[in-house]
Structure 1
């Protein structure tokens, strides 16, 4: 990753289809932040958290508010892929098929409403 992180970069985490049986620990971000070398932290422009749950939003809020407040403005909760594509061009990222299927199924009414101008 050294060749990627020498300049600004973004990370995308897909929280899609996460439930009680496979959710992240509440201190996942803290653990991740603690093991990542400072050179990677320095050039992180944004961390996109796609398809967050209420629990993951609360966890990231607590972490970025009380543990690493400087990270707060870099963490973005993204509800759907269209929102992600306003930040990252679709051709810049490989999205797993199950994420595409989920987003289409859950957000297709949103996309229909948006495209019709309502």
Structure 2
């Protein structure tokens, strides 16, 4: 993710969102999961609540309906607080799809790991926290 201090940050984020949605629309025919690797994300690189809300509102109904779960790996205190505060403003169905996973071992219990590729920085964070190394991905077909 780009740093929010970049002068063209909004443009980059909007186009990143369009790219991700366009890719999902091509890939998703059935239920799917999204795995968000939060562990190495600095607060400077996290999108704003307003931007996230705008994105959620723009997602096609079919994509929202077929999303089985949004798994957040190594959630920070900040992201958990942010999602707790925004819960009243998002649908109950979507809120129920949110899952926090605190280790790659736990992720392996939820996601078939043959579909997953985890960056080294995430493996290092997990190893520092738990002494184990596993694997994860961006969008995983069910």
* TM-score w.r.t. length of structure 2: 0.67
Matched, 1:22 2:64: no
Unaligned runs of 5+ in 1: 112-118
Cα RMSD, aligned residues only: 1.8
SS of structure 2 residue aligned to 1:86: helix
| Deviation beyond 3 Å, 4+ runs, structure 1 | 26-29
CA contact (8 A) 1:5 1:44 kept: no
| CA displacement, residues 44-99 of structure 1 (integer Å, 9 cap, x when unaligned) | 00000111111101111232333222211100011111111110022121111211
Structure 1 pair 3–19 and aligned structure 2 pair: CA distance change class (3 A): closer
Aligned residue in 1 for 2:100: 77
Unaligned runs of 5+ in 2: 1-23, 133-142
Question: Counterparts of 1:59 and 1:27 in 2: how far apart (Å)?
Answer: 11
By how many angstroms is 1:10 displaced? 0.2
